[in-house]
């Protein structure tokens, strides 16, 4: 097992990894910008190192600074969390060259999966269905030919993308070239890569994802699936497990196929395959692979709640070469009850612009089946430089109706004074008839606003 892990991240995920390290008897090193000197992850870690000024490119994305921090603290592994450098194959390679274990998949697989076109092709070769679409587009003429072949509506996606950036919907063929130009500019600005591709657009799909864990030697288990259909601007707001959209037979088939495809890659660590779900006129499920995220997900918590597994601990153990019971077949994965997570963000409730500021008062909900993953505390000042996530409120109960009731209660107990938040939006979501009935899709928020 590792002696000391440097956590190349901040916020609630850094706190989450520190807690897993402590339970494993591993020392932890927090890194922080000057803006995060009073952050909770800095206070909880065994050691901390300042790595630069507030802009992420000068601190949390500063690879030389991170590697230097690992060297001076004698860390032997690096946990990237999610976001920042978590999907950087180059950073993983630099860690290996420096004698550090990067707690994540092999760099070559990170590079493959980071290219959405290549990832689609790889998974299609391994039996997973994908939406009709294109490869990397090299010209507007090629895009027009693809549009003529697969028809409208279409969606433009960034090859290196995520989080909705570089993504445009096309319903009018006359707008295709203009939308392509805009998408390329956004992708270049966000990812340093302006490559885009086309897919057939599903108007109101459900978003299903499968959590997997592999040992890098051809063994892989699907830990369960989640539904993440409630989104704003392609950003997830609510996640739950198991997915209410799937029957037991559909779930078993999806999990088996996903695990088999990932095992064929000899994938190491935790990862998430994302799918879109629609049903045909006979009600049969059609699931299409979109992408695979080679890291821990924000919403891993709901899978932990229904399975009892500590996914961050398992991720660390796999990276260290330790035996993991679920991979060895000694601990069957059993899903119990239902879990729902909501993301509480510091943002203007009308414009959704970030709303940094001091947390003047904080009251977290409690009681049975309640979990709050957070890095905030009363008196903490939310900086304006980073993601607006304040906390993840997670509930668990015996079934979905009970979990919805528990979530409603917890949302009304939660108090955050200071920054504006999206708490009221979540309270309205949980009272919406479609949410209560489990009639979820990616356009639920549009119905909520109408």
Per annotation, catalytic residue among 257, 295, 343, 371: 295
Residue count of the chain, please give it.
450
Q: How far apart are CA 184 and CA 204, in angstroms?
A: 25
User: Cα dist. 219→9, 40, 101, 323 in Å?
Assistant: 29, 36, 20, 12
Tell me how far the alpha carbon of residue 100 is from its chain's centroid.
24
381-382/361-363 β-pairing: unpaired
The helix (run of H) or strand (run of E) holding residue 275 is: strand 268-279
Check if the beta carbon of residue 325 is closer than 8 Å to that of residue 397. no
Kindly state the tokens that stand for 119.
């990832």
Is residue 295 flagged as an active site residue? yes
The helix (run of H) or strand (run of E) holding residue 373 is: strand 370-374
From 244, 148, 149, 154, select the one nearest 202 (Cα to Cα).
154
Cα atoms in the Cβ-side hemisphere of radius 13 Å centred on 340: 28
DSSP string, 132-162: SB-SS---HHHHHHHHHHH-SSEEEEETT--
235-241/357-358 β-pairing: unpaired
27-33/415-417 β-pairing: unpaired
284 Ramachandran zone, left/alpha/beta (phi>0; psi -120 to 50): beta
Q: Any idea which residues carry the catalytic annotation?
A: 295
């Amino acid at each position: 097992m590792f002696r000391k892990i440097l956590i190349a991240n901040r916020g609630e995920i850094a706190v989450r990894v520190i807690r897993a390290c402590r339970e494993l008897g591993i020392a932890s090193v927090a890194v922080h910008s000057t803006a995060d000197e009073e952050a909770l992850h800095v206070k909880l870690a065994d050691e901390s190192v300042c790595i630069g000024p507030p802009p992420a490119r000068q601190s949390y994305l500063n690879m030389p600074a991170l590697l230097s921090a690992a060297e001076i603290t004698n860390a032997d592994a690096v946990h990237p969390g999610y976001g920042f450098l978590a999907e950087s194959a180059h950073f993983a390679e630099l860690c290996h060259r420096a004698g550090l274990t990067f707690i994540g998949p092999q760099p070559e697989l990170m590079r493959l999966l980071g290219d959405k076109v290549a990832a689609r092709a790889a998974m299609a070769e391994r039996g997973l269905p994908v939406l009709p679409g294109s490869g990397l587009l090299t010209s507007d003429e090629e895009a027009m030919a693809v549009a003529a072949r697969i028809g409208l509506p279409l969606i433009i996606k960034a090859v290196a993308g995520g989080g909705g950036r570089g993504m445009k919907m096309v319903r009018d063929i006359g707008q295709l070239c203009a939308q392509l130009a805009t998408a390329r500019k956004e992708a270049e600005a966000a990812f340093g890569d302006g490559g885009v591709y086309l897919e057939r657009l599903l108007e109101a799909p459900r978003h299903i994802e499968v959590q997997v864990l592999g040992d890098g030697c051809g063994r892989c288990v699907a830990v369960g699936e989640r539904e993440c259909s409630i989104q704003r601007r392609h950003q997830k707001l609510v996640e739950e497990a198991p997915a209410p959209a799937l029957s037991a037979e559909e779930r078993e088939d999806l999990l088996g196929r996903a695990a088999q495809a990932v095992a064929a890659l000899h994938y190491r660590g935790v990862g998430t395959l994302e799918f879109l779900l629609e049903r045909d006129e006979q009600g049969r499920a059609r699931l299409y692979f979109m992408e695979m995220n080679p890291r821990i997900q924000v919403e891993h918590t709901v899978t932990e709640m229904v399975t009892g597994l500590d996914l961050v601990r398992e991720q660390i153990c796999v990276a260290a070469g330790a035996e993991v019971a679920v991979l060895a077949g000694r601990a069957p994965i059993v899903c119990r009850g239902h879990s729902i997570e909501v993301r509480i963000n510091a943002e203007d409730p009308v414009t959704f612009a970030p709303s940094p500021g001091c947390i003047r008062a904080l009251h977290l909900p409690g009681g049975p089946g309640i979990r709050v993953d957070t890095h905030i505390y009363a008196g903490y000042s939310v900086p304006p430089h980073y993601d607006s996530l304040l906390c993840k409120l997670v509930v668990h109960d015996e079934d979905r109706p009970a979990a919805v009731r528990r979530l409603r209660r917890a949302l009304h107990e939660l108090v955050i004074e200071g920054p504006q938040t999206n708490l009221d939006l979540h309270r309205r979501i949980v009272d919406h008839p479609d949410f209560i009935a489990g009639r979820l899709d990616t356009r639920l928020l549009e119905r909520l606003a109408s």
